Amino acid sequence: MPKKSTKLPGHLKRRVVLTGGPAAGKTAVCEVLRRHLANEVAVLPEVATLLFQAGFPRPKDQAGRRLVQQTIYSVQRNLEGIFEITHPDLTHICDRGTLDGGAYWPGGLERFLGAMGTTLEGEYRRYDAVIFLQTSAYGEGAYETESSARIETPAQAR
């Protein structure tokens, strides 16, 4: 007999976001979870890495940075929606979430939220748990920039 679902219609079993500064270990944790809990979790890749490794531009000016973060936010929301459809019975682990763009937005988080037409509370409600990992840039000599998508200096990562 099929197992009866106890989740509410339209609500995921769970959506967890791993967030934090560059080189905090988010992607490494996601890989461990994917490897050891393959039948229980679906891991959403980091959207910025997907875009930048595919050649998405990285403008230095504020208008360009805003457009990049708007794109990342939109793709993140859509990716979460796709995973709801394609993996409805798994716990979703997000390598970064919709609020991460606030760290890169000219003017900070409040301006980012306003530009995205959302609120801090509304974004937190999208996730069942938010796990913050501290960047390794605080450790002496520990900050690695092996990722081709990572361009932040240790000072920027802090």
H or E segment and range at residue 92: strand 91-95
The partner residues of 20 in beta bridges, in order of sequence, read 133
Neighbours of 137 (CB within 10 A): 20
Q: What is the pLDDT, as a whole number, of residue 96?
A: 94
Q: What is the pLDDT, as a whole number, of residue 40?
A: 93
H or E segment and range at residue 15: strand 15-20
Q: What is the pLDDT, as a whole number, of residue 23?
A: 83
> CA-CA distance, 89 to 40, in Å (whole number)?
8
Ranges of residues in the chain whose predicted pLDDT is under 70: 1-13, 137-158
| Residue 109 within any structural domain of the chain | yes
Which range marks the domain in which residue 74 is found?
15-22+30-157
Q: What is the pLDDT, as a whole number, of residue 27?
A: 87
Please give the tally of structural domains in the chain. 1
| Residue 45 within any structural domain of the chain | yes
Question: What are the φ/ψ torsions at residue 125 (nearest 5 degrees)?
Answer: -65, -20
